[in-house]
Amino acid sequence: MLCWDRGVRIQPFVIAGIEPDLSGSQLKGESEKVSFKAFRIHQQEKGVSAGFEQMQVDDLTEGEVVVRVSFSGINYKDALAATGKAKILRAASLNGGIDCAGVVQSTQSAAFGVGDSVLVCGCGLSEIRDGGYAELVRVPETCVVALPKGLELRDAMAIGTAGFTAALAVIRLEQNGQSPEHGPMLVTGATGGVGSIVIGMLAAKGFEVIALTGKSDQHDYLKQLGTTDFLDRHSLEMGTRPLEKGQWGGAVDNVGGETLGWLTRSVRPWGNIASIGNASGIKLETTVMPFILRGVSLLGINSIEMPTALRNLAWQRLGEDLKPAHLDLIAPRTIAFDELPGAFESYVAGTVTGRTVVRIGH
C-alpha cells in the first residue's frame, strides 16, 4: 500500500512566524531547536507511507556533521523506497534520499569546517540512517566527502550515486585489465542514470560502446553520449547454451536477472562484467563454463560500503578524468522539493531517461 500522507503532516517552514536562519553561522545548540522539512518514509505492515514532515536535528540519526542540503537526486532505489515497491529501509522510519550535496551547518569533526561544501553518497542514507530528502542531514564524518575540485554542488547530484557507481565500475574494470582491445562494451539499462553516465565514461576512454535499451525513441540521446550501436531489450535473443558466441569485450550490467546470465555466456575470453543493478531481477542463472573456459570475471559493484580511500578516489576522479562530459544532457531536469512525491512512479516503471536533480534548499 502506498499512502501519500501529505497535507496532514506538512507544516509551513516557520517557527512563530519567523523563517529560520539556517545559514552556516548558526551554532549547534541553536540549530537543534530549528524545525526543518523532510520527506519521511514509514514502513507499514504492507508497503510504506511517505510524505513531508517537520523535524528537528535531534530527531535525526546520529553523526558528527550536520549538512544544510542544497541538492539531492532520484535513483531507482529512492523510487523503490518511497513507493514501497521493495523494502529498502532497514529501520521503521527514515528520511528518504540516498545522496545529497550541501554545506556544513555544524560539526564536531576536525575534518570538516562550518561552511565547507560537501556531499554524502551511499553510506546507508535512507537504509540505516536518515537520508538526503531533508533540509538538514546529520551523518558520521566518515560518510562526508569534500566537494571535489571541478564540481559545483548541483553537478555532484547530477552525477549522484548513479555517477559514483559508474565510476566505481570503470575503476574496477580498469583494475581487472579491461581495455578497448578486448572489443565492444555492452551497457544494459542504458538510458538510466548509471547507464547514461557509464556510456560517456567508457566512450571517453576509447571503448566502443553498445547500448541495450528498451527505449527505441532514445537512440539519438544514446548516440550523443557515445554509443555506436543498439540492441532492443524487448526482442533480444539470448539463447540457452552454456557458452554463446563471444560478442562483447565486457559489459556493465544494470538490470541483472536473465540478461546478466546471458552476458556471462556471451562475453569474450578474459572479459569483465561489472554487475551493478537488478532492474529486471535478482536471480542469476549461468554455469561455471564462462569462468573456467573463457576466464570471464564478474565484478561486484557496491556503492554503499567501501574503504574511505576508494570513496574519495572515485569522487576525485569524477571531478577529473571521469567527469561526465554531457552532464546537462544526462541530468536535464531540476525539480523542486515539493514535486518529489510525484516523480517516483516513472522510475519504477522504467520510463525515465537520464537523471533528475532535486533542489532541496538554497
Q: Which three cell numbers stand for residue 20?
A: 529560520
Binding of residue 301 to ligand NAP (CB under 6 A)? yes
Q: Interaction with ligand NAP in 264-293: which residues (CB under 6 A)?
A: 276-280
Binding of residue 347 to ligand NAP (CB under 6 A)? yes
Residue whose C-alpha is closest to residue 336's, from 44, 135, 79: 135
- Residue 270 sits at the vertex; the CA angle it makes with 299 and 222, to the nearest 5 degrees, is 65
Q: Which is nearer to ligand NAP, 134 or 169 (CB)?
A: 169
Q: Which is nearer to ligand NAP, 215 or 265 (CB)?
A: 215
Q: Interaction with ligand NAP in 75-104: which residues (CB under 6 A)?
A: 75-77
Q: How far apart are CA 283 and CA 73, in angstroms?
A: 28
CB of 230 to ligand NAP, least distance (A): 9
Quickly count: other Cβ atoms within 10 Å of residue 176's Cβ.
Answer: 14
CB of 279 to ligand NAP, least distance (A): 4
Count of positions on this chain that bind ligand NAP (CB under 6 A)? 31
Binding of residue 163 to ligand NAP (CB under 6 A)? no
Q: Which is nearer to ligand NAP, 89 or 103 (CB)?
A: 89
CB of 106 to ligand NAP, least distance (A): 29
Pairing between β-strand 227-232 and β-strand 272-275 as defined by DSSP bridges:
unpaired
Q: How far apart are CA 203 and CA 322, in angstroms?
A: 11
Residue 127 half-sphere exposure, CB side, CA atoms within 13 Å? Answer: 13
Binding of residue 73 to ligand NAP (CB under 6 A)? no
Binding of residue 224 to ligand NAP (CB under 6 A)? no
Q: Which is nearer to ligand NAP, 233 or 265 (CB)?
A: 233
Distance of CA 285 to the CA centre of its chain: 26
CB of 271 to ligand NAP, least distance (A): 19
Binding of residue 350 to ligand NAP (CB under 6 A)? yes
- Per CB under 6 A, the list member of 63, 200, 214, 341 interacting with ligand NAP is 214
Q: How far apart are CA 181 and CA 95, in angstroms?
A: 45
Output b/e per residue, 191-223; b: 16+ Cβ within 10 A.
bbbbbbbbbbbbbbbebebbbbbbbeebbebbe
- Print the binding letters for residues 14-53 with ligand NAP: x by CB under 6 A, - otherwise: ----------------------------------------
CB of 213 to ligand NAP, least distance (A): 3
**What strands, in cross-sheet order, belong to the sheet with 272-275?**
227-232, 209-213, 185-188, 250-253, 272-275, 297-300
- Contact positions vs ligand NAP (CB under 6 A): 75-77, 161-162, 165, 189-195, 213-215, 233, 254-255, 276-280, 301-304, 347, 350, 352
